[in-house]
Amino acid sequence: MPQKELRVPAEVQTDAQATEILRLWTTPSGERVALDVDPTLDVGVGGIILVDLARHVARAYEGRASGTGMDNFQRIIASFVAELRQPTDTPTSS
């Protein structure tokens, strides 16, 4: 089991239609991801999920790092573009 498991938000615990679609861990050898995608949804929904996730990360860093949520979001986007141009890792399926 992971050393630190995050709590499930209260809103999710009480929503019978909530579905977990993503888990992400960081390890010394890189990130590990578990995904459960809905094959009936357009793959473009993945872009919406990524942007929403980036906004959550930006807000999480607000108050913990320098800059506002928007500053943090812009840094995340810049890092995203840099990673697209020169990947530091290649995802694999397992």
Residues contacting residue 73 through CB under 8 Å, at least 6 positions apart: 54, 55, 58
* Tokens coding 24: 């992400």
Does residue 57 contact residue 51 with C-beta atoms inside 8 Å? no
Question: For residue 94, is pLDDT > 60?
Answer: no
Place of tokens 């929403």: 52
Residue pLDDT, tens place only, 9-62: 999 999 999 989 999 988 888 888 999 988 888 999 999 999 999 999 999 888
